[in-house]
Homo-oligomer: A and B are copies of this chain.
């Protein structure tokens, strides 16, 4: 028999997971949950893979701005594009959501869904993490891959529920996390159906369709899944409402927060980070019965490429 969750050290976090799964899968017990209701939702950035030094999708946006800059000479003198082209991180960090949204629309809209997926795939194939030197698709957390597998082995359906772009994640969700495209929930821009020279396409429009973060996560879960999950996994205050929605009520529920406290093997940040802010969820976790995972103490391995 193979060990369950081998990259998890024995302790309260691992115990909370295995106990929960055992309880809801025990037939005849009052806590038994039938298979169709075994829905588990996972945030992506900082939960399933790293999100430092910046959301990976943000790095994709910056790279696309550089690729497209030749056709946009005005970007050299126009913000927020200029800051990207000059790698001016302090200036970039000071921009609000409106400026970042301009960058997203300039790189995510104005093409078909097929072309966008191709851009992401090409970027993923060539890009490397700035400090680890690894493809981004290797920057995944081995213990979380094992957790996904453990849940699926117990007849859970695993969903991604990310503030990131749904079409971005779908290009690698199945290959990297074993989550098929129809089980990915995320932020989206609008699309329009068009027939071009007899060929139907979906054109991506520079218009936000849905922002799947904070209060948006329960809304997105309801939109795509249509029932309340029984387990939720996150790492930031953007996941607060998803955990709150999932763990409400008296039945057995699992809420879990990955705490990035491992500066040596990954990164250490929480309350005082500009990105991946974790404050309220961490403070309220004990009272709400949410499990806080210390990457440093609870994981004996962080990345699959570690020995």
Interface positions of A (Cβ within 8 A of B)? 36, 39, 113, 157, 159, 166-167, 170, 174, 180-184, 188, 191-193, 195, 199-200, 202, 209, 215-216, 218-219, 222-227, 241, 244-245, 248
Contact = CB atoms under 8 A, between A and B. Distances in A.
A81 B225 CA distance: 33
Contacts of A39: 182
6 contacts: A181-B225, A181-B226, A182-B226, A193-B241, A200-B241, A200-B244
A200 B182 contact: no
Q: How many copies does the complex hold?
A: 2
B244 A195 contact: yes
A224 B182 contact: yes
B226 A202 contact: no
Nearest to A36: B180
Contacts of A170: 226
Contact of A174 (B36, B166, B167, B209): B36
A226 B184 contact: yes
B200 A218 contact: yes
Contacts of A222: 113, 191, 202
Given A174-B36, A226-B167, A244-B200, A193 B181 contact: no
